[in-house]
Amino acid sequence: MRGTIRALVGALMALACLASAAQAEDAVSGRPVTIDDIVELEAFGRAAISPDGRWAVYEKRGAYDTATRFDLAARAPWTIMDLWLVDLSAPDQEPQRLLPEEGLGLQVVAWSPDGGRLLISRLRGDEYEFGVVTIADRSVIWTGLTPETPPEGASAEWVSAHEVVVLTRPDRSLPVLIRRFSGAQARMTEAWRRSALGREPSRTLIDARDGVVRPETPDEGQALVELDLETGRRRRLAEGRISDFAVAPDGSAVAVVQATDRPTLPLFKEIVAAMDDKKVAARAADIYGRVAQEMAAQDAALDHLKGQADG
């Protein structure tokens, strides 16, 4: 593994040297960098080595100006992302596209514990979906489940070589992280359309009782789903406003952090506004028995879930 890491570091250093040489050439010629140069840049994304050390997968996107849409702002490059696979046991072999028949919009999510499968996502238009690639034959199964991408917390964790737990959006809408910039414009356009018809009121109501912001139509929440890739079974383990989860090391249970009905406790004597109307609590769900139990009456810290080695 150390040799592999050294090889990867060496490759990255070589790329850096090539980039520096190109920049130096422009500096010598005196040609200024143009906007076209910037928007035509290609880039690498994330990379991940399989747990068995056999494979490496990395993201690579095309030129920024070839994105299929730009209303997603910083997420626009997701539409032109592709995945490449490297066989680390054959250093002389060229990297290959992981799914050459699937087109662009692919991103890596997580390797299975044995390195035999890879969980990925695909963004195409307004469809965002989890998929599972079997590395042996490069086949892919698209699940029809829309990933949730919480700002803090997990979106997917493997239970075993053929079982995975994923955080999804049951209504198939794009996550807030993706539609943050385009969603407001679409809602505003629809609101003006309804106002022009004069048939129903069109408004945006934000309640702030007790100093807590509550939207008129809150988000429908998320669903935590377990997939068994051998049997095709799907089970919903939890639902609600889920912000984080973690699978126990022995795979027997999953801890879930989600909003509760308890009001948010003020941190100071006076609060102008709080951006969340719920406290969060940790719950434990038995993956096999579907038993949910609240773990404590206190608030749970986000992004700090960790199980003991024995589960």
Q: What is the DSSP string of 181-248?
A: THHHHHHHHHHHHHHHHTSS-----EE-GGGB-EESS----EEEEEEETTT--EEEEEEESEEEEEE-
User: For residue range 150-176, what is the model confidence (pLDDT) as tens digits?
Assistant: 878 899 999 999 999 999 999 999 888
How far is residue 67's CA from residue 64's CA, in Å, rounded to a whole number?
A: 6
Taking the CA atoms of residue 175, residue 176, residue 178 and residue 184 in that order, the dihedral angle to the nearest 10 degrees is 130
User: What is the structure's pLDDT at 284?
Assistant: 55
**CATH number for the domain formed by residue range(s) 34-144:** 2.120.10.30
User: What is the structure's pLDDT at 261?
Assistant: 52
Q: pTM, whole model, 2 decimals?
A: 0.75
User: What is the structure's pLDDT at 17?
Assistant: 44
How far is residue 253's CA from residue 284's CA, in Å, rounded to a whole number?
A: 7
How far is residue 45's CA from residue 80's CA, in Å, rounded to a whole number?
A: 11
How far is residue 165's CA from residue 112's CA, in Å, rounded to a whole number?
A: 11
How far is residue 74's CA from residue 177's CA, in Å, rounded to a whole number?
A: 10
User: For residue range 3-56, what is the model confidence (pLDDT) as tens digits?
Assistant: 545 445 444 444 444 454 445 445 556 789 999 999 999 999 999 999 999 999
Domain spans of the chain, in order of start: 1-31, 34-144, 151-311
One-letter amino acid at 247 equals V
Phi-psi region of 211 (alpha: psi -120 to 50; beta: other; left: phi over 0): left
How far is residue 172's CA from residue 167's CA, in Å, rounded to a whole number?
A: 12
**Mean pLDDT on 82-92:** 95
8 Å CB contact between 280 and 257: yes
Distance spanning both ends of the chain, measured CA to CA: 28
The residue among 224, 262, 226 whose CA lies nearest residue 243 is 224
Tokens for 199?
């048939």
Lowest mean pLDDT segment, chosen from 80-89, 227-236, 249-258: 249-258
Residue 292 reports pLDDT greater than 60: no
Q: How distant, in Å, are the alpha carbons of 10, 255, 280, 281, 301 from that of 298?
A: 48, 15, 8, 7, 10
